[in-house]
Amino acid sequence: MIAFAVVFAGIQLVPADRANPPVQADVAAPPEVAAVLRRACYDCHSHETRWPWYARVAPVSWWLAHDVEEGRDHLNFSTWDESTPRERLELRRAAWEEVREEHMPPWFYLPLHPGARLSEGDRAVLRDWAAER
């Protein structure tokens, strides 16, 4: 038990990167779309991540930082203006496919973030946004 405590204390000295770089340009979306995105997507897909208290406790902190980094790499609403209009359309459609197939938000995220759960109305808003030209 002492060995476990020493190892646990020791890994706390290896911090995870919880940086939130500056927002370059927020996603241009209708207000109802922006509200759903902020509530359900921004923690992993923007530079406006709200890091919970457990994001400071290794090894969970490492896992969360990795997931956020991966989420930002796939889709980052804080760098939306770096994409061409065609790329933004493709990103919207790909995001909708992830939602439609119930891959997003991930099942393991929802118990601690129930506000991210998407209602049928939320899903319709995202579906319609993805279909816009």
For 53-103, what is each residue's pLDDT tens digit? Answer: 999 999 999 999 999 999 999 999 999 999 999 999 999 999 999 999 999
What residues form DSSP beta bridges with 25? 79
Any domain includes 7: no
Give the domain extent around 45.
24-131
Looking at the domain assignment, is residue 120 inside a domain?
Answer: yes
Let me know if residue 103 belongs to a domain: yes
Identity of the amino acid at 41? C
For residues 104-121, average pLDDT = 96
Task: Report if residue 68 sits inside a domain.
Answer: yes
Is 6 part of any domain?
Answer: no
Number of independent structural domains in the chain: 1
Q: Give the lowest-confidence range in 8-12, 42-46, 89-93, 121-125.
A: 8-12
d(CA 69, CA 99): 19
Q: Is residue 114 part of a domain?
A: yes
How many contiguous H segments (helices) and E segments (strands) does the chain have?
A: 6, 0
Q: Is residue 12 over pLDDT 90? A: no
Q: 125 lies in a domain? A: yes
Tell me whether the omega of the peptide bond preceding residue 59 falls within 30 degrees of 0, making it cis.
yes
Q: Give the pTM.
A: 0.89
User: Do the domain assignments include residue 121?
Assistant: yes
